[in-house]
A = this chain, B = another copy of it.
């Protein structure tokens, strides 16, 4: 089953202790689409400027990623520049240029409107909602990511959008900010009242935690000796997670657990190299092998 994503396609300039890249292709929807496309066909809704070339689009070619929803507008593509601290656990934003993104009004091509699986990457909550409104009927599964900016600035818009989604997928700081609760279990109970029935908390080097009706499931981050660039890890996680669920078609507890593992697998590959470099060359057999490695990392018999 295909998977609809709306979000940013961007150019990123990144610095980490491992090096730097200038204007590399990035953006939440890009990471998501590439990661998810290993599992299910992806329909991409985003906007780029006229500096976005055919060469940039190559990352999407040869994958099951439909670009009819990728709008091209006069002007420049969204640009972000950031620098990571020595241990990659902090980052400073050096530049954010919205460019064409400032005028983005997502429009779903007719063929996207039957979407059963929808991922609303981190953009303004009213735009996220407008995408859901263009989908015919209720999707089987809608998931949403957001960030501190929207939680603080457009809280009521976000609350309105959350009423219509099944899964909220954010990091621990965002979970605490949105729920006004430090404890993640209590935070989850608050968030369930807002609409979602599943909360996925991304915890960076500590892995991810899912809280749902059937309890809690935790998956660690894959231990890497030399992560190079955390950019896109959360979106790649979301891509693996939603991609797996779209492929599997059912969303019971055991499928959700596997989705958490495949999400973590994709996130772990994303951070191995700068930008999309690692995902670009990734093979399905490497994904499968790493998923098995996650089993070795966590399994025990009493």
Name A's B-contacting residues (CB within 8 A).
Answer: 86-87, 182-186, 203, 206-207, 209, 211, 215-220, 223-227, 254, 257-258, 260-261, 291-292, 295-302
Contacts and interface: CB of A to CB of B under 8 A. Distances in A.
A215 B298 contact: no
A218 B220 contact: yes
A55 to B, nearest CB: 34
A288 to B, nearest CB: 8
Nearest to A293: B215
Given A206-B206, A218-B220, 20 more contacts: A86-B182, A183-B225, A184-B223, A185-B225, A206-B207, A207-B220, A209-B220, A211-B223, A215-B297, A217-B297, A217-B298, A218-B298, A219-B300, A257-B300, A258-B302, A260-B300, A261-B302, A295-B302, A298-B299, A298-B300
A86 B176 CA distance: 14
A292 to B, nearest CB: 7
A188 B224 CA distance: 12
Nearest to A206: B206
A297 B260 CA distance: 12
A174 to B, nearest CB: 16
A297 B183 contact: no
Given A209-B220, A218-B220, A220-B220, A300 B258 contact: yes
A216 B223 contact: yes
Nearest to A204: B206
Nearest to A226: B183
Nearest to A220: B218
Nearest to A185: B225
A77 to B, nearest CB: 34
Q: 7 nearest interchain CB pairs?
A: A218-B220, A257-B300, A206-B206, A87-B182, A185-B225, A216-B223, A298-B298
